[in-house]
Amino acid sequence: MPALISPLQPIPVTILTGFLGAGKTTLLNQVLTTQYGSRIAVIENEFGEVGIDHELVIHADEEIFEMNNGCICCTVRGDLIRILGKLRRRRDRFDHVFIETTGLANPGPVLQTFFADDDLREDFQVRSVVTVVDAQHFLQDVRSLEEVGAQVAFADVILINKCDLSGAETQAQVEALLQVINPAAAFMRGSHSRVDIPALLNTRSFDLARLLRRDPGWLEEHQHDHEHDAGDDKKPLHDSSITSVGITSDGEMDGTRLITWLAGVVLAQGADLFRMKGVFALQGDPRKVVIQSVHHVFMNGEQAGEWGEQTRHCSVVFIGRNLDRQQLNADFQNCLV
């Protein structure tokens, strides 16, 4: 049936996360003071000194509730539903929404909120989860609090901040560990949260170019998690069981087998699966098929164009706890035709 009204473009959303003191508010201030032509609505949990009177800044209470009784991973933010519900009625007044989470928050419920509510799913598009990491303290923080690992696990973009306060060796260790936890994220380095703001805001929900890059072994090189040492004390770099499994192969997949497999993984392991991101070449389909999930929820499909002359291949990254690498690999291979 014909649509009488042209659908509006979804409003891009950036979710900003990071441990206490990592530099989230500094980054937020820079985003708001950088004149690059976008009007930004900010939803923040903490009362920071934003002080930008021409921007829309809203404070939120962190009201997390479960979508379904007994399923602890299916949590959403009731306050965000209300606030975003109001913002969607004022969409002519801003171009981008920025959500700053608390330093101790697991960003999962924030992310899932956009897929739990029909209106939000339709009117907003999560462009990226940006996680700010304090290069000086990350190795210490990630051992003590699981949320720090979760913030990295959920990230599409990781800003390694405060590089001026940390040595090259520490930075290398931090980046190595970040790659272990989340090899699919795009990485930026900076000090005082100074980064290329337009590039940061325009980074899509995950670094597709990175995932598609024909860089042999880029996934495999990070599969030896839990084997790194943190230097002198020889302890594991992080104590949580958050890890990643990346699999890539040339060739095509059977779409039905792929969907059946991924749906089964998400259904059975959704509680432990923070993110799943994949780009696939499906038999008979000229497009690059992008599939993402957050816990139990599949996210809206991202457009990635067609394969054209490129070598058709399939790549997927699972980020979560208690991942069975061997089984995932076997199931992946089973989907190939």
CB of 69 to other proteins, least distance (A): 7
CB of 78 to other proteins, least distance (A): 4
Q: Does 36 bind other proteins (CB under 8 A)?
A: no
Beta bridge partners of 24: none
Q: Does 50 bind other proteins (CB under 8 A)?
A: no
CB of 122 to other proteins, least distance (A): 8
Distances (CA, A) of 106 to 5, 77, 173, 282: 38, 12, 23, 34
Nearer to other proteins, 61 or 164 (CB): 61
Cα(137)–Cα(234) distance, rounded to whole angstroms? 17
CB of 99 to other proteins, least distance (A): 17
Q: Does 39 bind other proteins (CB under 8 A)?
A: no
Q: Does 324 bind other proteins (CB under 8 A)?
A: no
42, 76, 130, 150: which one binds other proteins (CB under 8 A):
76
* Contact set for other proteins, span 119-148 (CB under 8 A): 119
Cα(163)–Cα(235) distance, rounded to whole angstroms? 23
Q: Does 5 bind other proteins (CB under 8 A)?
A: yes
Stretch that binds other proteins, among 84-92, 163-171, 187-195, 269-277 (CB under 8 A): 84-92
Q: Does 267 bind other proteins (CB under 8 A)?
A: no
Cα(281)–Cα(268) distance, rounded to whole angstroms? 24
Q: Does 336 bind other proteins (CB under 8 A)?
A: no
Non-local (6+) Cβ contacts of 270 within 8 A are: 73, 293, 295, 296, 297
Q: Tell me the one-letter amino acid at 286.
A: P
Cα(129)–Cα(111) distance, rounded to whole angstroms? 8
33, 61, 235, 286: which one binds other proteins (CB under 8 A):
61
Angle between helices 78-87 and 108-116 (to 10 degrees): 50
User: Do the Cβ atoms of 240 and 146 come closer than 8 Å?
Assistant: yes
Q: Does 44 bind other proteins (CB under 8 A)?
A: no
Q: Does 53 bind other proteins (CB under 8 A)?
A: no
Structure tokens at 7: 């659908």
User: Do the Cβ atoms of 207 and 286 come closer than 8 Å?
Assistant: no
Structure tokens at 74: 């299916």
Q: Does 71 bind other proteins (CB under 8 A)?
A: no
69, 303, 311, 326: which one binds other proteins (CB under 8 A):
69
Non-local (6+) Cβ contacts of 277 within 8 A are: 184, 206, 211, 290, 291, 292, 316, 317
Nearer to other proteins, 6 or 311 (CB): 6
55, 95, 117, 239: which one binds other proteins (CB under 8 A):
117
Nearer to other proteins, 81 or 130 (CB): 81
Cα(100)–Cα(80) distance, rounded to whole angstroms? 11
Residue ranges in contact with other proteins by CB under 8 A: 1-5, 61, 63, 65-67, 69, 76, 78-79, 81-82, 86, 89-90, 116-119
